[in-house]
Structure 1
Amino acid sequence: MGASKREKMAAGEWYVCIDPELDALRTAAQEAVFEHNSLPPRQRGNIGPALRQLFAAVGENARVEAPFYCPYGFNISLGDGVFINAGSVILDTAPVRIGAGTLLGPAVQIYCAEHHKDAGKRRAGLEIARAVTIGEGVWIGGGAIILGGVTIGDEAIVGAGAVVTKDVPAGVTVVGNPARVVRG
């Protein structure tokens, strides 16, 4: 018997996300996200209890503002002092690691899921999951989009609205679509 769709997703292989096991995991995440987004701020604290439990790791004083969305949650790791501003979305079909002291502006989008380029395979629902790693002390401006497979080095800056399609070296600033280095 072949690998399950969840195993294929975790291995970075092509898979179809319509699957009872993946549906159940998404439902658990939806409930945790709903709780996080619905709790009054004083009850929610830095991260709603169910969402905190769902995440792979949550560092000290990490904070996720509401509203927030993720389909699975168990692939998200936040370092100490990470701040994720309101309206952010992390499509965590693959691991997303955000290093200590990193700040995400409002409406930042991180997309690990990539659909097949072949139209027939795309219609069949094939997608692949690519991890995202964001270093320590990074600043990502509001509305930026980070695509799967990208690594952003320590202390880099991603300008507001940038679309990051390739790795970003440590200590540089990138802007635009596609993002390009403007200074090191």
Structure 2
Amino acid sequence: MAAKNKMLSCIMITNKFIVFGIVLLLPSVLWSQFSSNISRNEKKRSFVSFSASYGEFIERDAWFYGFNGEFSKRLKNVPIGIAGSLMWDQEKDVKKDKIVSTFTAAVTGSYLISNRWSVGTGLGKGFMDTDNSNKKYKWADGDWSTALFFGYQIPLNLKSSIGISASYEYNMSANETSLSLDVSYGFSL
């Protein structure tokens, strides 16, 4: 009986580490722009947010800015939310004197650490950009990216808030990292 209890205990601990890894450590998002906003309101668990971001690449002399629209849903009775995002960003590579605009779709997960702090991760994929000879938007097999982001929400009232988040991003396709800051406005539905 003691061996069975010990085995069940090990399985429970392993499951907690797996959940921790999936929810908190699996790095997510594309070039940034994940607001990490989820509803703090248990009755109105759907949340819509819009954000603006600025970021810089670590390995090269380049920067970007962008905008994001996100819809998230808080799971019932738990401080976890899932979201879908549509992002647009424009990257400026200083040395190459090159500007590329990209549309990206992403899915994310966030965990409410407290009523104001959250942490999250996700996965994004670029699907349309101007990285072509015509410099026009075309469907593309864009980069896969991921990030770890932390957010802080300032409640304006029971339904809406302003959010500030910071992201450490990793572009898996290009094997490079970046840091970004985001400011968002969101409201519960």
TM-score above 0.5, yes or no: no
TM-score bracket for this pair, using the shorter chain length: under 0.3
Which has the larger strand fraction? 2
Greater RCO between the two (CA within 8 Å, min separation 6)? 2
Which has the larger helix fraction? 1
For normalisation by structure 2, the TM-score amounts to 0.25
For normalisation by structure 1, the TM-score amounts to 0.26
